Amino acid sequence: MLFADSGLSDAQISVLLAIWSLTAVVFEVPSGALADRFSRRGSLVVAGALQAAGYATWVLFPSFWGFAAGFVLWGLGGTLTSGAFEALLYDGLAAGGDEDQYGRLNARVDTIELIAQVPVAVVATALFSFGGYQLAGWVSVAMCLASSVIALRFPEPERGSEDDDEPGYFATLRTGLRASIPIKRAVLAVALVYALDAFEEYFTLLAQDWDVPTVWVPLATIGIPLMGAAGASLAGRLPFRGWVLFASGALLIVAAWLAVPPAIVLLGLFYGLYRFVLVHVETELQHRIESDARATVTSVAAIGSEFVAFAVYGLWVLGSAIAIGVMVLLVALFIRRQ
């Protein structure tokens, strides 16, 4: 919404999102190796500070190039988080012999993350009403810095004693890039499914296109993260079913075809089913990784998702949400054959 209201076209917005993805492509795997070699907790701390700097750039320089610079900073922060958080969570459980609980805990984390978007949407509406994008932007900066402070308190399990001959950065990077066939399949599944989440960036634009007034867009789309949270929560309790992603793609196509405000309900159902599948493929990948380069392997999946995300951005420009729905069906077909 900020980009559109600043005069940027759909094509320019897609270019900005592509810059965001390109940043991840360049730095994703090296940042994962840094987290494995040095500190996963430290990576999370720096990530919050970089994202705060990105938001500050948007507020101070609300133009195409200012937004581009902000996306680069945000992208750098995102690469430091990706892989490091999952590895910190899984190894923390494994240290106590509870790695089999990762799927349920990962589902809970996703659920809380999505539910948190509801009060954020309410606050965003109030902030926008009182201070526009400036006030909302500076509050976002403060929240990112607060996340860094919280990350400082995360426990980080030891990965070897001081007398161990620990591998260097490049050795860790090589270990993470070398994987068995089952791991590679799981990496590809995560890359394809997670890439679809790039479509989330267009939810507010869809609401606008479907005749929802700008000031009401946050509240109109408030049900989408709630449905996503429901899907993620169920993923921690129910087994994976191959038809779920097919159903989500079909719902998205119908919603895009209707293109009216009530279709946002179908958009929410699509997102709930999608998050159900995402939790399952992410959990399967973590269970298959056996090396200490867990963050690096997870980052390989993330970088793959960034490449696939370019297709999402392109399809938005060329065919909008219907074309992305067809893409979801194709990904569902691939996942079903795994």
Domain at 2-154+173-337, CATH class:
mainly alpha
CA-wise closest residue to 208 among 197, 196, 198, 220: 220
DSSP state, 197? G
Residue-by-residue DSSP string for 115-160: HTHHHHHHHHHHHHHHHHHHHHHHHHHHHHHHHHHHHTT------S
pLDDT average, residue stretch 125-134: 84
pLDDT, position 163? 45
pLDDT at 117: 75
Q: Can you tell me the mean pLDDT for 53-77?
A: 93
pLDDT per residue as tens digits for the range 267-310: 999 999 999 999 998 888 888 777 667 777 887 787 778 778 87
**Length of the chain counted residue by residue:** 338
Q: What are the domain boundaries of the chain?
A: 2-154+173-337
The per-residue DSSP string of 16-65 comes to HHHHHHHHHHHHHHHHHHHHHHT-HHHHHHHHHHHHHHHHHHHHH--SHH
Over the stretch 184-236, which tens digit does the pLDDT of each residue have? Answer: 778 888 888 988 888 887 888 888 888 787 777 877 788 888 899 999 999 88
Segment among 33-47, 123-137, 140-154, 279-293 with least mean pLDDT: 279-293
- Assess contact for 289 and 183: CB atoms under 8 A: yes
pLDDT at 132 over 90: no
The mean pLDDT of the chain is: 83
Whether the model pTM is above 0.85? no
Average pLDDT over residues 90-114: 85
Task: Report residue 178 as tokens.
Answer: 């070398």
pLDDT in tens, 47-62: 999 999 999 999 999 8
Residue 328 pLDDT > 90, yes or no?
Answer: yes
Position 162 scores a pLDDT of: 45
**Highest mean pLDDT (candidates 56-60, 307-311, 314-318, 334-338):** 56-60
Whether the pLDDT of residue 38 is over 90: the answer is no
Query: Hey, what are 28's tokens?
Result: 């994703």
